[in-house]
Amino acid sequence: MKQIKLIALALATASVAACTTSVPTETATRGAPLEAATQQTASITGDYYAVQKVNVIVPSKLIVSEADALYPKADIVWREDPRGNRHDQVQKIVQDALTAGAARLTSGTPVVVDVEVTRFHALTEKARYHSATGFQWHDIDFRLTVRDAQTGEVLESRKVEAPLRAYAGTRALAAEMQGITQKSRISQHLSSVIVKELGPKA
């Protein structure tokens, strides 16, 4: 009888040990350093901006071309507005597009965004309607500077290249029949670019 009790006791002890090793160990976080917790939070939230204003300038030194060539050597190539001050026309397009996109950036450090256009190269008539291929490129570059809205301190400044695949040939004609113009596509594209550049990172 005593031997049976000893066997039962041994089996019970082994069972308890097995249950103990099978339960995963939970690491305590309440005792973790505050600095580590802060770093983890920062990596999740990222650096957000609440854009208060967008200022766009198109320097007069940028060279404009009205030549109907496939790819004029110029800084500004624009056709969908009547002939006039192309610098002003480009400024309005970029200003309106970036302002619309920035309106979605409402969380984070209040900032003012300064944009200097360095290149705005859309398609000429020849490139758009007489190209053998259905695709070309809109080349759009600008310098982006982000300033603290209260102190004016520069938080970051960098060059942004924002190319967009352009429609040409029959693809361009088909798009226009649907009311899709170079201006509408470029504007939508730039609105997305500003969000991608200054919004929360995935």
Instruction: Name the token pair of 86.
Output: 């192309």
26 within a domain of the structure (yes/no): no
Nearest-angstrom CA–CA distance, 56 and 62: 14
Nearest-angstrom CA–CA distance, 162 and 197: 10
Q: How many residues does the chain have?
A: 202
Instruction: Name the token pair of 41.
Output: 């939070």
Distance, CA of 117 to chain centre: 17
Q: What local confidence, expressed as pLDDT, does residue 42 receive? A: 29
183 within a domain of the structure (yes/no): yes
10 within a domain of the structure (yes/no): no
157 within a domain of the structure (yes/no): yes
The single residue listed with the structure tokens 């020849």 is: 126
Query: CB of 126 within 8 A of CB of 68?
Result: yes
152 within a domain of the structure (yes/no): yes
Q: What local confidence, expressed as pLDDT, does residue 130 receive? A: 78
Instruction: Name the token pair of 33.
Output: 């350093």
Q: Residue 40: which residues within 8 A CB-CB, separation 6 or more?
A: none
Instruction: Name the token pair of 79.
Output: 């056709």
24 within a domain of the structure (yes/no): no
132 within a domain of the structure (yes/no): yes
For 140, the domain range is: 46-198
22 within a domain of the structure (yes/no): no
Instruction: Name the token pair of 191.
Output: 């609105």
- Predicted confidence pLDDT, tens digits, the chain (202 residues): 434 333 343 444 433 333 333 333 333 332 333 333 333 322 223 468 999 999 999 999 999 999 999 889 999 999 999 999 999 999 999 999 999 999 999 999 999 999 999 999 999 999 988 766 666 899 999 999 999 999 999 999 999 999 999 998 888 999 999 999 999 999 999 999 999 999 987 5
Total domains in the chain come to: 1
Q: Which candidate, 9, 97, 23, 108, places its Cα nearest to that of 54?
A: 97
Query: CB of 87 within 8 A of CB of 45?
Result: no
- CATH classification at residue 137: 3.40.50
Q: Residue 195: which residues within 8 A CB-CB, separation 6 or more?
A: 101, 102, 104, 105
DSSP state of 27: P
Query: CB of 193 within 8 A of CB of 164?
Result: no
